[in-house]
């Protein structure tokens, strides 16, 4: 199993540009999440999904959209990038109810100029 994969690994955007961060998992996990990690702030939850077609907001959802059309994929969209969105983004998945361990992808380092 590849586990949780994320693309791209690095990205530089200009303010106002849009892009999609890709996340995929091959473990048939129900739950998927997106976090951002900023220096000194730990990880903060952006959006999460408990199954295909179901998404919900986390702690810091503004400026981001998600969708979950399949079990495997959970893309994160930045509609109009801002410098405040410069961060490292992690996707994670877990099996579902009773499956408490989260598996993380390697991260995407995003810089918005």
The reply on whether position 96 binds another protein by CB under 8 A is yes
What are the strands, taking DSSP E only, across 1-113? 4-7, 10-13, 19-25, 31-38, 42-51, 54-57, 64-66, 76-78, 87-94, 103-104, 108-112
Minimum CB distance to another protein, residue 21 (Å)? 14
| Integer angstrom CA distances of residue 69 from 57, 74, 78, 93 | 17, 8, 18, 15
- Binding track over 30-69 against another protein, x by CB under 8 A: -x-x-x----xxxxxx--x-x-----x-xx----------
Stretch that binds another protein, among 15-23, 64-72, 79-87, 94-102 (CB under 8 A): 94-102
* Full DSSP string of 17-47: --EEEEEEESS--SEEEEEEEETTTEEEEEE
- Between 41 and 79, CB nearer to another protein: 41
The reply on whether position 105 binds another protein by CB under 8 A is yes
Q: Which residues are at the interface with another protein (CB under 8 A)? A: 4, 31, 33, 35, 40-45, 48, 50, 56, 58-59, 90, 92, 96-97, 100-107
């Amino acid at each position: 199993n590849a586990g949780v994969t994320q693309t791209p690994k690095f990205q530089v955007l200009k303010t106002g540009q849009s892009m999609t961060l890709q996340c995929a998992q091959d473990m048939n996990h129900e739950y998927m999440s997106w976090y951002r990690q900023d220096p000194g702030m730990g990880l903060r939850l952006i959006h999460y999904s408990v199954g295909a077609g179901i998404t919900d907001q986390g702690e810091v959802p503004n400026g981001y959209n998600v969708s979950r059309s399949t079990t495997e994929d959970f893309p994160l969209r930045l509609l109009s990038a801002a410098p405040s969105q410069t961060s490292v983004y992690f996707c994670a998945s877990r099996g579902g109810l009773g499956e408490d361990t989260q598996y993380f992808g390697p991260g995407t380092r995003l810089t918005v100029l």
